[in-house]
């Protein structure tokens, strides 16, 4: 196991650091303390060829421009809160609006746009980085000082673990997630339509035209959202003009369990996602339009990558029938996500 740390720039007087992790099988992960961001992830295909399977940028400075959360840690609240408001303890809180009338991924300056404290961690089986950030009371409209920790660990089982912890001094809402854009074909294909996806969810939360859940819960059976059996992402995509951007209710909740499995047939690369979260947002890169040029100057077009974001449901602060995202003083927010890589 290897870990290398280097300073690559300065941002508001603080060093921007890259952390390179590598296990004995050659899997390589690059992390950054700006946004507690995953910059790159190199994994082998069935012949052993390593390629980066994530979208992003080559330099730190590019992450400060037009960046749709490539590889970032998102919070305080991943996904959307309708009307950028909620009521907690009888008091209304108005949040930053950054997607029309809605609050998305923590607001104008969410956790993806802040500098985290960072340091290496390791044990006999893994190596990684622990990131810490104190979000002050009133940050983007949220109550309470929220002390957050995200730990990335790469092990010899070709797994990348993401462990989240948070505490607060006032009741608040917390919903942290990871936002990598994946293309298991690497640079060989410019879309993910032939990727075979399986999601262990028999229900989903329908949403309105602004992607805010209506509060209903429906079965995926008979809809383009039925991924209970593996099928290609592109198979029924045309039935959804806006593409996939849906919250799935995972069948197994509360314990670490398999939530999704993705296979890229040509390379043989497989990604399995395990999580303790109750929901999974599947996004098919609908808003990518080729205007963003990423690694190697490559334009990122529509459906050039997919996101699988383990989280609580969108707009839970305004939907009491959904699993609660309230964190109170004395409680500890805990969440675990595991990405496992293999080949077929």
Task: Give 38's pLDDT tier (boundaries 50, 70, 90).
Answer: very high
Q: Considering the chain, what is the average pLDDT of its residues?
A: 97
Determine which one of 103, 195, 309, 312 is catalytic: 309
Q: With bands split at pLDDT 50, 70 and 90, how would you rate the model's confidence at 7?
A: very high
Average pLDDT rounded to a whole number, residues 237-265: 95
Distances (CA, A) of 121 to 116, 126, 212, 213, 263: 15, 9, 38, 39, 31
Q: Parallel, antiparallel, or unpaired for β 307-311 and 279-283?
A: antiparallel
Examine the residue annotation and report whether 331 is marked as an active-site residue of this protein. no
Mean pLDDT over 104-113 rounds to 98
How many Å apart are CA 296 and CA 264, to the nearest integer?
A: 22
Of 105, 179, 195, 303, the active-site residue reads 179
Q: Taking a C-beta distance cutoff of 8 angstroms, is the pair 303, 64 a contact?
A: no
Q: Is 211 left (phi over 0), alpha (psi -120 to 50) or beta?
A: left
Give the model's pLDDT for residue 184. 98
The three-point CA angle 15-21-25 to 5° equals 165
**Band of pLDDT at residue 203, cut at 50, 70 and 90:** very high
Q: Is 309 part of the annotated catalytic residue set?
A: yes
Which pLDDT value is given to residue 207? 96
In this structure, the dihedral spanned by the alpha carbons of residues 85, 88, 91 and 92, taken in order and rounded to 10 degrees, is 0
Mean pLDDT of the region 74-78: 98
Decide: 133 and 117 in contact? Cβ < 8 Å. yes
Asked if pLDDT for residue 253 goes beyond 80, the answer is no
């Amino acid at each position: 196991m290897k870990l290398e740390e280097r300073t690559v720039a300065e941002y508001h007087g603080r060093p921007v650091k890259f952390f390179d992790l590598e296990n004995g099988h050659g899997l390589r992960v690059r992390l950054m303390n700006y946004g507690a961001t995953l910059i790159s992830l190199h994994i082998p295909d069935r012949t052993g060829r390593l390629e980066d399977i994530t979208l992003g940028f080559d330099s730190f400075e590019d992450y400060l421009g037009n960046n749709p959360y490539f590889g970032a840690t998102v919070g305080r609240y991943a996904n959307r809160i309708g009307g950028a408001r909620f009521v907690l303890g009888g008091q209304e809180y108005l949040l930053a609006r950054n997607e029309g009338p809605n609050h998305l991924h923590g607001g104008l300056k969410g956790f993806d746009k802040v500098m985290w404290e960072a340091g290496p961690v390791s044990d006999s089986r893994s190596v990684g980085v622990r990131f810490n950030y104190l979000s002050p009371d009133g940050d983007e409209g949220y109550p309470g000082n929220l002390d957050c920790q995200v730990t990335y660990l790469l092990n010899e089982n070709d797994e990348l673990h993401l462990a989240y912890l948070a505490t607060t001094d006032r009741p608040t809402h917390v919903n942290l997630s990871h936002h990598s854009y994946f293309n298991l074909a690497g640079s060989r294909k410019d879309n993910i339509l032939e990727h075979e996806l399986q999601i262990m969810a028999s229900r989903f939360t329908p949403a309105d035209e602004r992607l805010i859940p209506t509060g209903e819960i429906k079965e995926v059976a008979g809809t383009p959202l039925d991924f209970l059996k593996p099928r290609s992402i592109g198979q029924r995509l045309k039935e959804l003009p806006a593409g996939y951007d849906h919250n799935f209710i995972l069948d197994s909740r509360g314990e670490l369990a398999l939530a999704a499995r993705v296979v890229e047939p040509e390379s043989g690369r497989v990604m399995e996602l395990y999580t303790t979260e109750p929901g999974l947002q599947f996004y098919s890169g609908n808003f990518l339009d080729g205007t963003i040029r990423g690694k190697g100057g490559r334009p990122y077009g529509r459906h050039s990558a997919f996101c699988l974001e383990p989280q609580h449901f969108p707009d839970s602060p305004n939907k009491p029938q959904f699993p609660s995202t309230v964190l109170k003083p004395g409680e500890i927010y805990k969440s675990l996500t595991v990405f496992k890589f293999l080949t077929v």
